[in-house]
Amino acid sequence: MIEIPSDLHPDLVPLAFLIGKWAGAGVSDFPGAEKCNFGQEVTFSHDGRDFLEYVSHTWVLDADGNQVRPLESESGYWRIDKDRKVEVVMVRDQGVVEIWYGELANQKPQIDLVTDAVARTAASGPYTGGKRLYGYVKSDLMWVGEKATPEVELRPYMSAHLKKVVTPEEVAEMARNLEDMPDDGIAFFK
């Protein structure tokens, strides 16, 4: 279920499905880089202004699902206009700054983004642009990223399936707002 916070800026209501902390796993595979499974934590938050703050951390997982080492980190800001056009400014730990533009699909929580501008530091690896697709599917957040370099044409390089993280505070809030349940618990399902 998608909840719309009462203090959310009205312009951001179409992006409310992103808000929260998400965690899950995915696959990374790009020529010249190690192919691996990765874990990911993503947070979309807001402070009442007209943007969502975005933070993502990924790490390489071993065959047993244990964290091995950091993979990528990125942060940025997401906005949407009245025509459902989405813009994202993102900074990556690899020395890359990107501006992404895209659109929220009509009648479904899906966002397609394409890089419009890429700036790289001298320390960053080769990168010329990318595409991303984010979708809210059966209460989960899924995404796939495509990447291009001077040597490699645009192709998928990372994808992940994330689930919403519920904090102890959120559980307590749910408990406070829970309707009275029957003592035996079984009658609730009849």
- Which CATH number applies to 8-175? 2.40.128.20
Sign of the CA dihedral with 21 first, then 25, 27, and 33 last = positive
Task: Calculate the dihedral angle through the C-alpha atoms of 182, 183, 185, 189, rounding to the nearest 10 degrees.
Answer: -20
Contact 136, 161 (CB under 8 A): no
Q: How far apart are CA 43 and CA 18, in angstroms?
A: 8
Instruction: Say yes or no to pLDDT of 190 above 50.
Output: no
Contact call for residues 157 and 167 (beta carbons, < 8 A):
no
127 SS3 class: coil
pLDDT greater than 80 at residue 26? yes
Q: Nearest 5°: CA angle at 13, between 156 and 113? A: 20
pLDDT for residue 189 is more than 70: no
d(CA 70, CA 67): 8
Q: State residue 2's pLDDT score.
A: 80
Strands 96-104 and 85-92: antiparallel
pLDDT at 177 over 70: no
How does pLDDT run across 116-174, given as a tens digit for each residue?
999 999 999 999 999 999 999 999 999 999 999 999 999 999 999 999 997 777 666 66
| pTM summary value | 0.86
Query: Per-residue pLDDT tens for 32-75?
Result: 888 999 999 999 999 999 999 999 999 999 999 999 999 999 99
**pLDDT score, position 169:** 75
Give the angle 30-33-34 at the CA atoms, nearest 5°: 105
The average pLDDT across 84-88 equals 98
- pLDDT at position 111 is 97
The predicted pLDDT at position 164 comes to 94
Question: Furthest-apart CA pair in the chain: how many Å?
Answer: 65
